[in-house]
Structure 1
Amino acid sequence: MNSPGSRFLWPAIRWLGAGTTTPSAAELAVATIGSIIAMAVVFTVSYSAPVGGNLLIVASAGASTVLIFAVPHGRLSQPWPVLVGHCLCAAIGVACARWIGIGPVEAAATIGVCILGMSIFRCIHPPAGATALTAVMGGPAIYELGFGFVFSPVLINMATLILVAILINLPFRWRRYPASIRWQRRQPLPPNVNRADIQHALSQIDTLMDVSEDDLMRIYELARQKSDGAELITRAHIVTDLTFSNGKFGASWQVREIISRELHTVRYEIIAGQGVGDVGEISIEKFIEWVAYPVIREGDSWSRIRLDDRN
């Protein structure tokens, strides 16, 4: 039984925006170790640069590192917003410091201009605001660099961070960075998903959402699978010309069409997803273990069907 305090505590925590899930141990390990390595490299490059040793810039890179390694698929974490966002805000900060002045009011105005600029150039990246403030409030050493501040240390540090992040995430295929990386040619979409509908839905939301199109489709499909429930597939359902999906997403997703069936085995062809074009033969029991649900093709996507509803 929950205590009276918990009835108020947990709703308050959720209202404040606390997450409801915890990443896997593998995900946490990659993010933690990867971020340590990335920051070590950024520190090394920062102190090796002609104007190295500026801790404020390293702090700004640290904020970007959190986004890149903790949310590698987020829109705010991608190379374009990281690199362009920091450089644009650094240039805005230098311009405001030189042409408007240095002080709290000028610093506030700088952040406003940065938000406008990043919105126009589609490079919203929150840590870049700290870079702009560094240009305005960083003191004489930063002021004397002028627009050279944009190149060194900002551009050098952010380019280094992005390069290291790409190399660290590369071996882990579930962590695509950049998120645009695809490990195989795009096949027709999994059941119940239409890419054009997802794009339209995103365009109708008049605010920035830090989630990629592919991740949104994955969330939708997983939720749809759970809400639909699992249909029991039996030996009687395994008949020629039916197509089945394994219900997975991304590189593991497959659709198999039954070519022929014997008493104890079934022969199939992979017609979508990983290994498309391959033909195989396995026992009916193994095939049933693989199956999630039957599907039919509709345009560039696959729709789930219920065998009991077939004519």
Structure 2
Amino acid sequence: MTRWGRIMRALGPAVGRPPTREMLRACIGAGVGLTCCTFLVRLTMTPANAAGPDPTLLLIAPLGATAMLAFAVPSSPLAQPWAAVVGNTVSAFIGVVMVMLVAEPWMALGLSVTCAMIAMMLLRATHPPAAGVALGAVLTADAVREAGFSYVFSPVLLDTVLLLAVAVVYNRMTGRVYPFRQPVDHGPRTVEGAGLRPMIKSADLSSILQRLRLDVNIGPADLARLIDAAHSLAAEHLFDGVRSAQIMTRKLVTADPQMPVSQIAALFRLHKVRTLPVIGFDGAFQGLVSEADLVRTLHKPDSAGDDNMLSRLLRASRDVVEPVAAEVMVTTVGTATKDTPLGVLVDLLAEGDQQAVPVLDAGRMVGIITRADLVAALARAQSVAELPADTPDEDEDDPTDTLNQKQQKTT
């Protein structure tokens, strides 16, 4: 890219075009909120002196900017209730003080904005439209001087609160989260998700944003969402080209929902597996039963210490009521499709709570991927990638060919 091309790109739009529905949603909400504020201003303020500008009209300008933030970008830290209410109110107070103490208008204009910015930063209430509130108070000095400090309460505080109350109701009615998402500890997800997600506390997320000086642009909760999305995308591209269908086991050993746990234990020992999928009588996948599930179900603290667990499982049929698969299986598990990328499977199985990932097609199980299948595929890919470049690959249909080619390029 040429120098002029880089300059033009830097001067171009920095955000994407929002969907038409979102644009209409934000614009209608802002219009409703500002209309309510205009009526409140007229009800609470006495008519302006005809000799000077009407301060109520100048107030609508910064409130319009507040409405833009609260309705169009409700996730921004700048749009949150604390920032808007405290920012507008303290700026109005500073504007009135400057009108009362500083005789020169040109000096009062500069001092009002400067002091308002300092106060907002100290109070952690950065709200850009509030600088306009302080400026408007100085521009309408005669009317504001007559109203005194009551101007801070009405119309500034009242109108800001009203506007934000409308924003809270309207945003929630139209599917947006406002006020701000409260940050929570960012940890791994094990169900229907992927991404190598180490535990990150909310305080650490806030510290990262402050260190990078981004805390006024994005909140900790939204940063956590970005981390989740980035991890998921990275997992999908970890081993591009290798899908679940290429490494899954198609010969399935399954259990039905009413199978006693003693028979399930026998299947574990016979087929040397650690996880069995439970398939309903209609052929639909219902859950997974692992050795750990059986141990949790049948472990009895008062049992003889010299009995091994497998023997106890095989003798479970002697109990008066023997548990069945439907009672011990785990139904909330991560699943995959034939097209799920290998990187997602690596991530999901690495988290430790699942020993296997069912591969489903329209709710029916078509295969299963165990940790052993995953390790074998990765080991095969690594061993082939380490071969000399002129060594022919005899297995032309090896499902890890695409992965091997990618790793050879990177090494």
Shift of 1:78: 0.3
Whole-Å separation in 2 of the counterparts to 1:177 and 1:129: 23
Partner of 2:16: 21
CA spacing shift, 1:16–1:239, aligned 2, 3 Å: farther
Aligned to 1:154: 156
Residues 112 and 163 from structure 1, CA distance in 2 versus in 1: closer, same or farther, beyond 3 angstroms? same
Q: Secondary structure, in 3 states, of the residue corresponding to 2:74?
A: coil
Query: Letter of the aligned partner of 1:267 in structure 2?
Result: Q
For 1:24-50, what per-residue CA distance to the aligned partner results, in whole angstroms no more than 9, with x for missing partners? Answer: 233222112111111111112122223
Q: Is the 8 A contact 2:78 2:217 kept in 1?
A: yes
Aligned letter for 1:233? S
The 3-state SS of whatever aligns with 2:109 is helix
Distance 2:10 2:139 in 1: 34
- 1:198 aligned partner: 205
Residue pair 1:115, 1:124 contacting (<8 A) in 2 also: yes
Instruction: Provide, for residues 273-292 of structure 1, a one-character-per-residue CA deviation record: whole Å limited to 9, x for no partner.
Output: xxxxx96599x9x8627977
Q: Which protein shows a greater Rg?
A: 2
Q: So what's the TM-score if we normalise by structure 1?
A: 0.73
Q: Distance in 1 between matches of 2:207 and 2:217?
A: 16
2:170 is equivalent to residue 168 of structure 1:
yes
Q: Which blocks of at least 5 consecutive residues in structure 1 are unaligned?
A: 1-5, 241-257, 270-277, 300-305
Structure 1 residues 12 and 83: CA distance shift in structure 2, 3 A? same
Q: Does 1:308 pair with 2:374?
A: yes
CA contact 2:187–2:198 (8 Å) conserved in 1? no
> Within 5 A, what are the aligned runs for 1:274-293?
280=331, 288=337, 293=344
- Work out which of the residue numbers 226, 232, 235 in structure 1 matches 2:243: 232
Q: Against the structure 1 CA distance between its residues 236 and 145, is the aligned structure 2 distance closer, same or farther, given a 3 Å change threshold?
A: farther
1:141 is aligned to 143
d(CA) in 2 for partners of 1:220, 1:130: 35
CA offset digits 1:146-202 (Å, max 9, x no partner) = 1111011101110110000001001233x21101369xx989554426433423311
Query: For residues 226-268 of structure 1, what are the alpha-carbon distances to aligned partners after superposition, in whole Å with 9 as ceiling and x for unaligned?
Result: 333256234539999xxxxxxxxxxxxxxxxx87344954323
Q: 2:277 aligns with which of 257, 260, 270?
A: 260
1:66 pairs with one of 59, 65, 68:
68
Name the structure with the higher strand share. 1
CA contact (8 A) 2:102 2:108 kept: yes
- Contact 2:67–2:163 (8 Å) recurs in 1: yes
Bigger mean CA deviation after superposition, 71-80 or 141-150: 141-150
Instruction: Report the more deviating stretch, 137-146 or 161-170.
Output: 137-146
Q: What are the residue-to-residue correspondences of 1:89-128 with 2, within 5 Å?
A: 89-128=91-130
Aligned to 1:179: 180
Change beyond 3 A, Cα 1:121–1:239: farther
Q: Using the TM superposition, name which of 40-49 and 12-21 deviates more.
A: 12-21
SS at match of 1:180: coil
* Counterpart pick for 2:37 among 33, 42, 64: 42
CA contact (8 A) 1:259 1:267 kept: no
